[in-house]
Amino acid sequence: MDLSSLSKEKWWGDDYLYELNGFWLLPPFTQSVILASFPKTLLFSIWRSITFVFCRGLIPCGPYHDHVMGYKKLNLERSKEVFFVTYEELMSDPKTHVKELAKFVGCPFEGDDAEEQVVEVVKSCSFEVLSNYEVNKSEESPSCWDYKNCLNNEIIEHADALTKEKFHSNGFMYGI
């Protein structure tokens, strides 16, 4: 069937545009054909689209990998002005990085009890403590933030390849 032969009074759309863009999209006095997707199919399609957009650097704030590498290089060139630490580094040795951060912002831990102060700051900022505040309580389980529980192997492999290309090729062994 040649779709160009269809009447101009016919309107084709899909199920999620109506709610996102408002009912005014439907032209008055026309017949409408709506193709509804199974919700999980639509969710998967959107997820794949977001992955594509992220990996191409088309997200609103620009290419993620380029931003991270820019900050990493800036930290190496101007370490007195830029403090750079990865989440994983911070989590693996929080006391060291909290001390470095305090020194960087001009508030180093001092005195005989400096080490105890660091331990107290690390403890008071821990996930265990912060997650018990009412404002931070969530119905979601911690595993929902684990990419291995959310992304399929194809997406993980694509992200790893991009990370190797953007980070590892520049000597920044991070992200995999």
Distances (CA, A) of 22 to 10, 17, 98, 123, 163: 18, 8, 49, 48, 39
The angle that helices 153-166 and 64-77 make with each other, rounded to 10 degrees, is 30
Which is more confidently placed, 172 or 6?
172
User: What integer pLDDT is reported at residue 143 of this predicted model?
Assistant: 55
Q: Name the residue with higher pLDDT: 45 or 168.
A: 168
pLDDT digits (tens, 9 = 90+) for 106-163: 999 999 999 999 999 999 998 888 888 887 776 665 555 577 777 788 888 888 899 9
Task: Provide the pLDDT for residue 52.
Answer: 83
Q: How large is the greatest C-alpha to C-alpha distance in the chain, in angstroms?
A: 85
Measured CA to CA, the distance from residue 105 to residue 3 in angstroms comes to 64
Please provide residue 111's backbone torsions phi and psi, each rounded to the nearest 5 degrees.
Answer: 100, 175
- pTM of the predicted protein model: 0.63
Most confidently predicted of 7-21, 41-55, 61-75, 115-129: 115-129
Among residues 34, 41, 40, the alpha carbon closest in space to that of 19 is found at: 34
Render pLDDT for 1-24 as a digit per residue (tens, 0 to 9). 455 555 555 444 444 444 444 444
**Domains observed in the chain:** 1-36 (no CATH), 41-170 (3.40.50.300)
Of 33 and 80, the structure prediction assigns the larger pLDDT to 80
pLDDT at 155: 84
Would you place residue 92 in the very low, low, confident or very high pLDDT band (cuts 50, 70, 90)?
very high
